[in-house]
Amino acid sequence: MKIQNYVQGKWKSGEGTELEVFNSINGDFIGSVSSLGLDYEAILDYGRKVGGKALRKMTFQERGLMLKALALHLHKNKKKFYGLSAATGATKIDSWIDIEGGIGNLFTNASLRKQFPDLPYYVDGDGIPMSKGGSFMGHHIMVPKQGVAIHINAFNFPIWGMLEKIAVNLMAGVPAVVKPSEFTSYLTELMVREIIDSKILPEGALQLVVGKGHGIIDHANYQDVVTFTGSAATGKMLKGQENIVQNSVPFNLEADSLNASVLGADAVPGTPEFDIFIKEVQKEMTVKAGQKCTAIRRILVPENLIDDVEKALANRLAKNTIGDPSMEGVRMGALASKLQVDRVRANVEELMKSQNIVFGDLDNFDIIGGSKEKGAFFSPILFRNENPLEKTDVHNIEAFGPVSTLIPYKGIDEAVEIVKMGKGSLVTSIITADDNLATEFVVEAAHTSGRILVLNESCAKESTGHGSPMPLLTHGGPGRAGGGEEMGGKRGVLHYLQRTAIQGNPQTITAITKQFQVGAKQPEANPHVFRQHFEELTIGDTVFTHKHTVLESDINNFAQVSGDNFYAHVDETSLEGTIFEGKVAHGYYILAKAAGMFVDPKKGPVLLNYGIDECRFIKPVYPGTTIGVRFTVKEKINQEKKSEDDIAKGIVKFMVDVYDQTGETVALATILTMVKKLDQSK
């Protein structure tokens, strides 16, 4: 069977055979892989011109709903991926992480639409006044790059590795060309077939190259983004390619690293934290057979506890059963391929020159089911390194399998120094119930780690664990880990956008950003904005309210009703040494009074007011001050119907500008309202 590429709108077999792939459990032939003969220049151009053009026409809201629909579709059909996932050596739990973890990434990124405007581009930050008279200002917008995301992924997570990346670039409005590892590309191909057949994504938004992909980045340009997940050596080689350097192609490198987990000095045997530590280390050694870029490679333990940890960890590893994931009782599957077995074995043998194996055997171990000769099975190997400051292979050599090393440390400062010897990690963890110890460690070790997990009894039951990157947090790390960032929620989406400063008159900037900018025109709304449906409202339209003179009785009454008897509002004799010249009105009274002034009370399209943003009380309001309100349509965000019976509506942000008789603003806020649509079909 030929594992096929999906390029330029067609499924296509590469010329000849670059690689034959086999079931890692029993050695059965799965198929042949090739990308030879593919025209990468045409593939990238197709993505830019077809997929990119379609995605850039969509707003963030539409892209988010597209991701949600795709996530729902894949979740509904998730069972079809588990059978083939087992061929990669994955247990059911391993497959769950890969398949449902990847789909979960789609769901999470879909929800990010609520943090973006109802536009194809993003308005970044606040406007910046740049002239005395207010006729000239600056702002920033971020538009989708007009290129493609080229994702070069590792073999260990054929589905998660693809979905966690494309979820971000698709949300940004950028198409993707995915090149999974050829060794497990058969599982990625199955997922891509399901995605393409669903027709949820616009054509050209996703292309797949299943072979070695030599030359895929040779035609990348400055509008493209290349991401690489895999070994540090390969990643740095690709990042240094002439085309990448000459064309300043953005390159995100997420490399395997020598991650560490530290046992706090307080976590002695008998404490919950000691047991949590043992369980976490064993899990990270054996989940996906240790084939995780976030796996624990260095186990740092107070020197007085290392014997206890070795004994407890060896006992737990001894209960680990290896074999065919379909067999009852199997808790660890195989490595992804026989080639990976050879690579891990070579690195273990290299590490054996400077440290001792205290658990496991390269040759003598039992399996349940499968084929030890044809499969890719490997025993967990636990080393012990008594002198990590001088025997430094452990800080330089990574065996990408179920392999880790016990390391003693004398104090928290030395633990930090040992962690740093890994030259940059994706993740570090510390298991301790001592928050002072945790704080000291985190502050000192953060500069060398992309993520730090502090684990103790209080969070252990709900913790996602040392090795699990989460969609809303950045995934990456400095130095050896590649210096890149993936995911990270909104931060990840922004990687695929070009930030551009824009300058002009506030009216022009309002037109571009679709957000009201101070200094732009404020035509009087007719009718009142609360009488208009979502579609009828125009950015900048303003209600100019009647005026109200604040009386001392207003302040006294509000204090009585609210219970807010702060001295500045009720006791004029206590104002010496303050900024106030006399009894001052409550800020919340000013805001409440403003609402009474700008609200049209009759039933209409406004369904509810559900929040206030950016509320500021700028100038004291004393008795005798006359206030008015400029109530302006600031921004509109479309909202999808949750069901056919749901009311079609949108979110409208209104600027509440309360000013005094001098024309100066005394309070400024943004209120959020839900406004009914005129067209209830959308």
pLDDT, tens only, 245-300: 988 999 888 888 899 999 999 999 999 999 999 999 999 999 999 999 899 999 99
* Token pair 């260990």 in the structure block, residue: 156
Say whether pLDDT at 654 is over 90.
Answer: yes
> Above pLDDT 70, what percent of the chain?
100
pLDDT-above-90 percentage for the chain: 80
- DSSP state letters, 407-469: EEESSHHHHHHHHHTTSSBS-EEEE-S-HHHHHHHHHHHGGGBS-EEEE-TTTTTT---TT--
- The ranges assigned to domains in the chain are 40-255+491-497, 259-470, 522-676
Q: Which two tokens stand for residue 464?
A: 């996602």
Q: What is the rounded average pLDDT of the residues 446-463? A: 93
CA distances, 234 to each of 89, 152, 230, 291 (Å)? 24, 11, 7, 17
Q: What is the per-residue pLDDT for 676?
A: 94
* Average pLDDT, integer, range 211-227: 92
Distances (CA, A) of 298 to 123, 215, 335, 431, 634: 43, 36, 20, 14, 53
pLDDT score at 422: 94
Instruction: Please give the order of strands across the beta sheet that includes 122-129.
Output: 122-129, 137-144, 497-504
| Structure-token pair, residue 428 | 């570090």
Q: List pLDDT tens digits, range 538-597.
A: 999 999 999 999 999 999 999 999 999 999 898 888 888 888 888 999 999 999 999 999
The pLDDT score that the predictor gives to residue 237 is 87
Mean pLDDT value of segment 332-352: 93
CATH code given to domain 522-676: 3.10.129.10
Does the pLDDT at position 234 exceed 90?
A: no
Alpha carbon distances (Å) from 88 to 70, 74, 150, 284, 502: 24, 20, 24, 18, 50
Kindly report the number of other CB atoms within 10 A of residue 588's CB atom: 14
Token readout for 277 is 């530590």
Spatial distance between the Cα atoms of 262 and 146, rounded to a whole number of angstroms: 44
Q: What pLDDT score was predicted for residue 641? A: 81
Yes or no: domain 40-255+491-497 corresponds to CATH 3.40.605.10? yes
Judge if 40-255+491-497 and 259-470 fold alike in CATH terms.
Answer: no
For 283, the token pair is 């899990």
Residues in contact with 197: Cβ distance below 8 Å, sequence separation at least 6, in sequence order: none
Q: pLDDT value at position 351? A: 96
Identify the residue with better confidence: 547 or 234: 547
Q: Residue 194, SS3? A: helix
Which stretches within 264-400 are classed as H helix? 272-286, 306-318, 338-351
Say how many C-beta atoms besides its own lie within 10 A of residue 355's C-beta: 19
The superfamily (CATH) of domain 259-470 is Aldehyde Dehydrogenase; Chain A, domain 2 (3.40.309.10)
Q: Residue 236 — very low, low, confident or very high, per pLDDT cuts 50/70/90?
A: confident
- The tokens describing 499, both together, are 């930030």
Rounded average pLDDT over 513-523: 94
Confidence band of 480 (pLDDT split at 50, 70, 90): confident
pLDDT of residue 155: 83
Residues 6+ apart with CB under 8 A from 244: 217, 220, 226, 238, 251
Mean pLDDT of 84-96: 90
199-209 average pLDDT score: 97
pTM of the model: 0.89
Spatial separation of the C-alpha atoms in residues 318 and 314, rounded to whole Å: 6
Beta partners for residue 129, in sequence order: 137
The catalytic residue positions are: 254, 293
Q: What is the pLDDT of residues 622-641, one digit of tens each?
A: 999 999 999 999 999 888 88
pLDDT-based confidence at residue 474 (cuts at 50, 70, 90): confident
Euclidean distance between CA atoms 134 and 127, whole angstroms: 12
Q: What is the pLDDT of residue 520?
A: 94
**Which residue type, as a one-letter code, is found at position 233?**
A
Hunting for tokens 């400095």 — which residue is that?
A: 478
pLDDT computed for residue 313 by the predictor: 96
Regarding predicted confidence, which is higher, 237 or 72? 72
Question: Would the pLDDT of 672 be above 80?
Answer: yes
